[in-house]
Amino acid sequence: MNQLRRTFLKSAGSLGAVAVAVGAGLLRPGQVFAAAWNKVAFTATNVTEAMKEAGYGGAADSKDILIKVPEIAENGALVPVEVTSKIAGTTNIAIFVDQNQNPMIADFEIGNGTEGFIVTRIKMNKTSLVRIGVKAGGKAYTASKEVKVTVGGCGG
Amino acid sequence: MADDMKIRATMQGDVADVKILMNHIMETGLRKDPKTDKFIPAHFINEVVVTLNGKPVVQAQWGYAISKNPFLGFRVKGAKAGDKIAVSTVDNLGGKMQGEAVVA
């Protein structure tokens, strides 16, 4: 705790208001991160379990989730994923890959004006469905798309 | 700090388009070192928080399967030029990175 306090004081002094906010966050991580890192979901080895643990269990299929992924990814270590959720009141977007050792890849909680849109790059072990989970108004929705992977990118 | 990440935020209409490129190895823990035949320990960012003028806009939890040197893009409605974007990340070994940018 003392170490954190020191970091806090130092950054507050040198970087101004934003650093103060971040520094305060370091002292009370619970207030910055809505939830602690969901270890159970991230270490689950099958997609159904991972989705259930992450709060996407029993998600309804939705056509309002648009997934933009390459049909064929030559390099599994770098697969671009673009998700658009047209579901009103989207609060979370999560990415799962069925055939990865640990299917859960990421969960993005959005708010304060952020649109239901996330772009990132992921690693895929082999050809698999990329499954998107969306939470809106306390309900879970899902959609998926297949990506064919030529060379796996998890190094397993 | 300048090497931790690159952030670009530009206004497109009334929506801020934010792109963040972070510098991180994102080691999965599943790769073997060919010399020693031992697994290289996992080292990846698992928590990311992005704020706009201090309000959280994206709070992400990541596993190791986000690509090396992670890229994150999103759009914030109602932002305006001059707003401040701040990004902070924590990795599984407790390493922290921070970055700031102004919406242009």
Which residue of A43, A78, A98, A110 is the best one to mutate when testing the B interface, meaning the one whose CB has the most B CBs within 10 A?
Answer: A110
| Percentage of chain B lying above the pLDDT 70 cut | 98
Nearest partner of A122 among A141, A88, A145, judged by Cα:
A145
* Minimum Cα–Cα distance from B58: chain A residue: A110
Nearest partner of A38 among A51, A52, A25, A53, judged by Cα:
A53
Single-letter residue type at B26: M
What angle (nearest 5°) sits at the alpha carbon of residue A36, between those of residues A32 and A40? 160
Examine the pLDDT at B1 and tell me if it is beyond 70. Answer: no
Give the separation between CA A103 and CA A131, rounded to whole angstroms.
9
What angle (nearest 5°) sits at the alpha carbon of residue A23, between those of residues B76 and B69? 55
Question: Is this complex scored with an ipTM above 0.85?
Answer: yes
Q: What is the pLDDT of residue A25?
A: 42
Tokens of A129: 């469905």
Give the separation between CA A95 and CA A79, rounded to whole angstroms.
12
> A-chain residues within 8 Å CB-CB of B59?
32-34, 108-110
Helical (H) or strand (E) element with A14: helix A2-15
> What b/e string do you get for B81-90 counting C-beta neighbours within 10 Å, with b at 16 or more?
eebbbbbbbb
> A-chain residues within 8 Å CB-CB of B65?
97, 100, 102, 105-106, 122-124, 154
> What b/e string do you get for A20-59 counting C-beta neighbours within 10 Å, with b at 16 or more?
ebbbebbeeeeebbeeebbeebbebeebebbbbbbbbeeb
* Minimum Cα–Cα distance from A91: chain B residue: B58
Please identify every stretch of chain A with a pLDDT value under 50, giving residue numbers as ranges.
1, 9, 11-33
Query: What pTM, to 2 d.p., does this model score?
Result: 0.85
Write the residue in A79, A106, A119 that is nearest to B73 by C-beta.
A119
Average pLDDT score, chain B: 95
